[in-house]
Amino acid sequence: MTISRVEKTVNETREELGKQLGYRFRDDELLERALTHRSFVNEQGCEERCTHNERLEFLGDAVVGVSVAHFLMLNLPQAREGRLTKTRAAVVSEAGLSEAARRLGLGSCLRLGKGEEQGGGREKPSILCDAFEALVGAIYLDSDYETAREVVLRQLEDLLRAALRGDLDHDFKTRLQERLAAAGLDPPLYPVVAEHGPDHEKVFEVVVRVGEREFPSAQGHSKKAAEQKAAERALDALALEE
């Protein structure tokens, strides 16, 4: 994909992204930077004139964290620090933020290098999560904290509602095991069915097996992350059967 084609793709999707965000950038260069992955800069050899999104990701991570923490403080006035910390971690997890990025269609907006493109980078949870944080960081710089906070809370609304209901108090693996035990079923197994990518950026693919049944697979940059995502998908599948 050439630079011109990437630019065209970004321009075509920018207006729709703005609608989904409920925010329009004043500085398009900030938006462009938020959507630029390191692989694009490395492959194009444009380090001097191109900037990837990692610094914005660093800033956005902090903005997302404090926005969610403030929301939980206000809406869970009786919760102790331990519960608040655990709940915040569940909300701002890679799984949660990457799903928010998917709903925004961020994957189709990203500027990726050819290798990352061919490797399915537009669907990688880690890349989507980082892009979401970078986008929040860009909004913060383009406007102010209050505006960025409103975008974060709006995009994470479903997760935050689940947090207030207490649905995120346990990790997905614990919740799945508890559910299966209550139904008198065997405990889940989490076999690794595939590994992708180089050693420094390994992606593990895991499935959940309960007796003879196998649930949809999930991927993560660690076995633990993949297991959590796979457990979440198994819980979603079981919920649909109710």
Percent of the chain with pLDDT over 90: 42
**Are 218 and 134 members of one domain?**
no
Determine whether 57 is an active site residue.
no
**pLDDT 10s digits, 78-107:** 989 988 888 898 899 887 898 899 889 898
Q: What is the pTM of this model?
A: 0.69
Instruction: Return the higher-pLDDT residue of 148 and 181.
Output: 148
**Are 152 and 180 members of one domain?**
no
**pLDDT 10s digits, 99-137:** 899 889 898 889 888 888 888 888 888 899 999 999 999
Q: Which of 32, 117, 130, 133 is catalytic?
A: 133
**pLDDT 10s digits, 175-186:** 788 788 888 888
**Are 151 and 204 members of one domain?**
no
pLDDT value for 4: 43
> Looking at beta carbons, which pairs linking 114-117 to residues 24 or more positions away fall under 8 Å?
114/1, 114/43, 115/39, 115/43, 116/37, 116/39, 116/40, 117/1
**Are 119 and 182 members of one domain?**
no
Distance CA 90, CA 223 (A): 17
Nearest CA among 233, 97, 109 for reference residue 158:
97
DSSP labels for 30-74? HHHHHTB-HHHHHHHT-TTT---SHHHHHHHHHHHHHHHHHHHHH
DSSP labels for 138-165? HHHHHS-HHHHHHHHHHHTHHHHHHHHH
**Are 108 and 185 members of one domain?**
no
| Beta bridge mates, 220 | 204
Q: Which domain holds residue 178?
A: 172-240
Instruction: Return the higher-pLDDT residue of 49 and 160.
Output: 160
* Residue that has been written with the tokens 């940059």 in this structure: 221
Q: Would the pLDDT of 170 be above 70?
A: no
Q: Provide the terminal-to-terminal Cα distance of the chain, rounded to the nearest Å.
A: 45
Q: Which of 57, 61, 171, 227 is catalytic?
A: 61
Q: How many domains does the chain have?
A: 2
pLDDT value for 94: 82
Residue that finishes a domain, picked among 149, 165, 181:
165
pLDDT value for 197: 84
Q: What are phi and psi of 104, to 5 degrees?
A: -80, -15
Determine whether 28 is an active site residue.
no
Q: Would the pLDDT of 3 be above 50?
A: no
Instruction: Return the higher-pLDDT residue of 202 and 147.
Output: 147
Residue that finishes a domain, picked among 111, 137, 165:
165
State the average pLDDT over residues 13-23: 81
223 three-class SS: helix
